[in-house]
Structure 1
Amino acid sequence: MKAMNSFLGQRRMLTLLAILTLFAGAGCTNERGGVAMPSDSASSSATSTTPGSAPADVFGSLKACNVLDKALEGQGFPAAVIDRAGGDNGCDTLKSGFGTMSLDLHPNLGIDDLNAAKSKQFPGEVNDRRSIQVRDGIGSRGNCDIALEVTKTSRAIVGVTLTTGTTEEACAFVYSIAKKVEPQLPKGN
């Protein structure tokens, strides 16, 4: 009888583990190569703060993919897809024969926090908004990013990596897209 109770206990434990595994995966979606990522339907996107908590996300419900898709209208790019490699609110889109466009919204990193060699950073403005252009930031030709200041501690980064082409061509194209992204961003302090 003791062996039977031990067997039933193990069976119950295995059943419980199987059920917990199912529930643990229920709040995730598969994105990019089958990596489980938190689902947008999870109610963790509160935008208000309580004393002692982290500041509210300046981007609120603004989604990088929606902003990028609108900025790229008429350019022949497919719909942008979520890519969290550059942050929790990022996406990119690949146009065959042209290259990859990306947009990352960083609520807790300002443009002064860029992680690129100072020799590759060029300050400027996009539609009267402070910006920093980063040329060949990933170490290859045909790459250009523009970081747009939202607040002193938040930024948006618009980037392009061309399949073929020069850095000058990449920077001219990403600037034209940054001019369309900028009006969609919150006005900073």
Structure 2
Amino acid sequence: MLGQATAGMGYSTPVPSIADPKKSCESEKQGFGGVSLLLQPDKAINERPSSGNAKSAHIGSRVVIQTAEPIGTKGDCNIAMEVQPSSQAVVIVSNNMGDTNEACTRAQSFAEKLHGMLPP
């Protein structure tokens, strides 16, 4: 799914993430940073840790939570999307230049593309 979302945008072919290779993958773009997709089939969206930078919204009918600088790192932004009541998919974008707004804009774009690929 991540490869389809990043197609034609200059990102590398996604590879399994070292952190959880069975449930996540990542891709890099030279001069920008990276994007990852983490599938959490056993974690509801309301189980995500809260942050002062988190805000809820919707993409289509899906509940999403966008968190800018989730661990305090400038240039990082995550968007968690509810897949089913007990599962979620998380888009993680890191901007090497430290531009958090740009990271969140890209995370939103990837989340919108991935929304239609996820089960209802």
Q: TM tier, shorter chain?
A: over 0.9
TM-score, normalised by the number of residues in structure 2? 0.93
Q: Which residue in 2 is equivalent to 1:166?
A: 99
The partner residue of 2:7 within 73, 79, 84 is 73
RMSD: 1.4
Higher relative CO (Cα under 8 Å, sequence separation at least 6) belongs to 2
Q: Within 5 Å, give how 1:103-118 maps onto structure 2.
A: 103-115=37-49, 117-118=50-51
Matched residues in 2 for 1:157 and 1:87: separation? 14
5+ long unaligned stretches in structure 1: 1-66
What is residue 175 of structure 1 aligned with on the other side? 108
Query: Where in structure 1 do 4 or more consecutive aligned residues deviate above 2 Å?
Result: none
8 A contact 1:126–1:179 mirrored in 2: yes
Tell me, in whole angstroms, the C-alpha distance in 1 between the residues paired with 2:51 and 2:101: 18
Instruction: List alignment gaps of at least 5 residues for structure 2.
Output: none
Counterpart AA for 1:159: I
What is the TM-score with the length of structure 1 in the denominator? 0.60
Shift of 1:87: 6.9
2:68 corresponds to which residue? 135
Instruction: Report which of the two has the higher share of helix.
Output: 1
Residue 89, structure 1, aligned to residue 10, structure 2 = no
- Kept in 1, the 8 Å contact 2:51–2:70? The answer is no
Change (3 A) 1:84 1:113: farther
The aligned length equals: 120
1:17 match? none
The share of aligned pairs that are identical, in percent, is 34
Q: Which residue of 2 aligns with 1:12?
A: none
